[in-house]
Amino acid sequence: MLDVIAKTPLMGGGGIDTFQNLAIAAPITGLTPPYLLGANLTVKTDPVVLNLLVYDPRNAQNEDVLKDPFSEGVTGMVSATVPVQISGLSGFYGVKVVYSNKEGIDLADIPFLLLPSESGQFVGTKKGSWFIGASFQQYLVQNPANPQEGWGVFGQFGVSDGNPNPLDWSAILGVGGTSFIRGRNLDRWGIGYFRYSFSNDLVGGLGTVGIGLRDEQGVEGFYNMAVTPWFRLTADLQVIAPGVEDASTAVLGSLRAQVKF
């Protein structure tokens, strides 16, 4: 799925070329594992690009998925993307709906999981989970001779059922693209903000046993310099307020090197 995300023009990169934090590099739905076993159908019409994805809800790196596919349920994703031109600048606006019938732990029963009662209270399950999201990418500056060169804004907002999906809602907003510095058209840069809100049942359940959760949010900025067309260096800085209530704000700086063969 990182390879799929990497194809998006402004925020893409799949953690290799652009953003490193998973929250922006591959926005989390709570229902999409990193590797899929399934089928994808794309229908391009004018003006909408429709996409249907059906897959096993488990990570396909698990051998059981290959041996006994869809034994624990099925997940379906339907998305619609509308490419637009605003004053000659490209933009992409879309919505997607994800639904899975896989059973998950009833997050309201988390206290019984961590502190079993003598009465024999068991942890229940809930079947079915959903996610609905809307996203956009809009160029503000674009090279007419090469539409792949330019920079603009992007964002995504999503909501979910909150139980058994551990997420309640999420939001991403940023700006980025190819470099605005003259002669550095192969460079990339970006600044992004994210916020993920955990399920109320998850927060309440963990709170009863003394584990406090809050919304996780952060800011990331990077500059990816093409030293040569095949050798890149990326300077990256992240400031993150973790979802654990008592955790301190984390500051992470890194330098990434990439060689393309």
Give me the mean pLDDT over the 151-162 stretch: 95
pLDDT in tens, 85-141: 999 999 999 999 999 999 988 888 877 766 655 555 566 788 999 999 999 999 999
Confidence (pLDDT) at 69: 95
Confidence (pLDDT) at 252: 97
Residues in contact with 89: Cβ distance below 8 Å, sequence separation at least 6, in sequence order: 138, 139, 140, 141, 142, 150, 152
Confidence (pLDDT) at 181: 87
Confidence of residue 5 (pLDDT cuts 50, 70, 90): confident
Confidence (pLDDT) at 125: 84
Q: Which of 32-41, 78-87, 203-212 has the weakest average pLDDT?
A: 203-212
For residue 191 the two structure tokens come to: 């600044």
Rounded Cα gap, residues 117 and 111, in angstroms: 9
| Residue of 227 and 26 predicted with greater confidence | 227
Q: In the predicted model, what is the mean pLDDT of the chain? A: 90
Confidence (pLDDT) at 115: 65
| Residue of 259 and 206 predicted with greater confidence | 259
Coil/strand/helix, residue 242: coil
In this model, does residue 259 exceed pLDDT 80?
yes
Confidence (pLDDT) at 199: 93
Among 173, 180, 182, CA closest to 142: 180
User: How many other CB atoms sit within 10 Å of the CB of residue 76?
Assistant: 16
Confidence (pLDDT) at 116: 58
Confidence (pLDDT) at 207: 87
Residue 22's H or E segment, with its range, is helix 22-25
Rounded Cα gap, residues 159 and 197, in angstroms: 9
Among 30, 4, 42, CA closest to 98: 30
pLDDT in tens, 161-197: 999 999 999 999 999 999 988 889 899 999 999 999 9
Rounded Cα gap, residues 97 and 78, in angstroms: 5
DSSP-assigned states of every residue in 121-172:
----EEEEEEEEEEEEEEEEEEETTEEEEEEEEEEEEEEE--SSSSEEEEEE
Domain boundaries, the chain: 2-206
Residues in contact with 30: Cβ distance below 8 Å, sequence separation at least 6, in sequence order: 129, 131, 160, 165, 166, 167
| Residue of 129 and 1 predicted with greater confidence | 129
Give me the mean pLDDT over the 131-159 stretch: 94
Q: Is the peptide bond before 27 cis (omega within 30 degrees of 0)?
A: no
